[in-house]
Every structure is written in C-alpha cells, then in structure tokens.
Structure 1
Amino acid sequence: MRVNLENPNTHQLKQVKVGFSWTTFFFGFWPALFRGDWKWFGIQLVIEIFLGCFTYGIGAGIVGIVFSFFYNKLYINDLLKSGYVPSDKASEDILLNKGITVANK
C-alpha cells in the first residue's frame, strides 16, 4: 500500500510505501541510502557493523530483518516532521489507519 506525500512549499511529491519494507528486509541499510534518508542510513549502518563484527555477520542480517518491520513508518514520520502532508484524502486515511499522526494542512 502506498501513500502520496507532498511538500506544500516546494510542491515535491513522494510516493511512499506503508507497512513492511521488503527492500530493507533483503538489502538492509541500502534502501535508506537510495532514498536520501541519511539519518536512518547511518543508524542502520553503525548497528549492522557493530553487531556484525561480534557475530560473524549474522547480527547484521538480524538488524535488517528487525528494521524491515518499522523502517517505512520511521521514514514517513521523518517526512511528515519535515513538512510533508498527505496529498489526498485516501493517503491521509491510510496513514491514520496505520497509526501515523497526520498534521492538518
């Protein structure tokens, strides 16, 4: 399920997936890098390196699995905090149903 978020200042539109992140599940921290989400890229990378060093790499895989359950929600919350708003009523309803607080336009 995807939602459309728009920045009212720049009119930039982003279509973001809501729910489980299959890309994070399979590729770990790389989806955050390609989205330009530097904060969560750095956090995931540091955790994966730290846990991977002490567990022969198994810990890095586990971090990717754990983050895949909530990374999309973290990314959406960061976009909303930076000024993005749902561009349509359907997107707003989806976010509210998933427990993501949406500020008024």
Structure 2
Amino acid sequence: MQDPFKGFNDDDDQNNQNGNGPQGLPLPPNYATVVNADGNMRIAKVGFSWTMLVFSPFPTIFRADWYNLLCILGIELGASMLLVMTVSVNQLAQVTPVLQLVFYVLWGSIYNMMYFKHLFNRGFVPADDRSRDLLTQAHYWTQPKEK
C-alpha cells in the first residue's frame, strides 16, 4: 500500500515522531501498539476512554474484550442489587441516575488500563520503544523481572 503522507515533506523522521501503525501510517501520540508471540497486534488509546463514558459498555464488545465486559457487568449488577436492597422505593428513582453517572465516569477513567492489563496477562508486550515508554509512563506496563 502506498503511503498517503509521502511527498508532503521529505524529512519523514521530523514529522513522524509518533511511530508507525499498520501499513506505515502514523499513530496519534496517545496510542500504543502491543503484539504477542503469534504476531497478533492490538492498537489502543492510553488514558481516559471517552467512548466508555458515552457508549458504555459497547467499546468492550467492539474490541471483543469479553473478560472486561463480564467484569464491568458483574460490578454494575452487584452494585444495583445492593442499591435495591438498601434504598427505599421512593429514593431509588433519584439515586439510580447518580449511580449510573458514577459508573460511566469510573469506566471511562480505568477501562483502557483494564484492557491493556488483560492483554499483558494474555502474553502481549509493547511492540516498540515509543509504546513501551508511553505505557510505562501511564503505569500500565512494568518491566518483567529477569530470572
């Protein structure tokens, strides 16, 4: 595939400080690439997940991240059951939207970290130095200790 950005400026290294994504396309500065031993590659954002804030829990489904989807649904179901058992019926209509907003902000804040941590548990590692530095700086990745 031909690079669509080729020809704008010949000093390609000056403008492409963010590494290369698939087919040599540049990645945004807050995206990291991880790869496993089989060569499977995943690219995801590091930091706050606006899609989880707005569309929770659909990003987990689109990423086929079934483990985190079940964790999120289990925590929300448990909190909802606890809420129903402890709050009167009159207060339930007032408390439920607040609890939903709290969960949306919580999942937006931590979902990308949950996704990367699960990938690391499945054998994925940062694909390049830029991704490793970005994940280390965000405290998503720690260097494994050598034996």
1:103 equivalenced with 2:131 (yes/no): no
Provide structure 2 residue ranges, at least 5 long, that are not aligned to the other structure: 1-29, 85-91
Name the aligned partner's letter for residue 35 of structure 2: E
Q: Which residue of 1 aligns with 2:21?
A: none
Identity among equivalent positions (%) equals 28
Q: Indicate the residue corresponding to 2:5 in structure 1.
A: none
1:13 equivalent in alignment to 2:44? no
Among candidates 33, 36, 44, match of residue 64 of structure 2: 36
Supply the distance in 1 between the matched residues of 2:45 and 2:104 (Cα, whole angstroms): 17
Query: For 1:87 and 1:103, how far apart are their aligned partners in 2?
Result: 15
In structure 2, do the counterparts of structure 1 residues 32 and 102 end up closer, same or farther at CA, with 3 Å as the change threshold?
A: farther
Separation in 1, partners of 2:58, 2:75: 13
Q: Quick check: 1:28–1:63 contact (8 Å CA) kept in 2?
A: no
CA RMSD of aligned residues (A): 2.1
Counterpart position of 1:77: 117
Larger radius of gyration between Structure 1 and Structure 2: 2
Aligned mates of 1:62, 1:28 — CA distance in 2: 12
Q: How big is each residue's C-alpha offset from its partner over 1:68-105, in whole Å with a ceiling of 9 and x where there is no partner?
A: 1111011101101110011110000111111121438x
Equivalent residue letter for 1:90 = R
For residue 53 of structure 2, the aligned residue among 25, 37, 41 is: 25
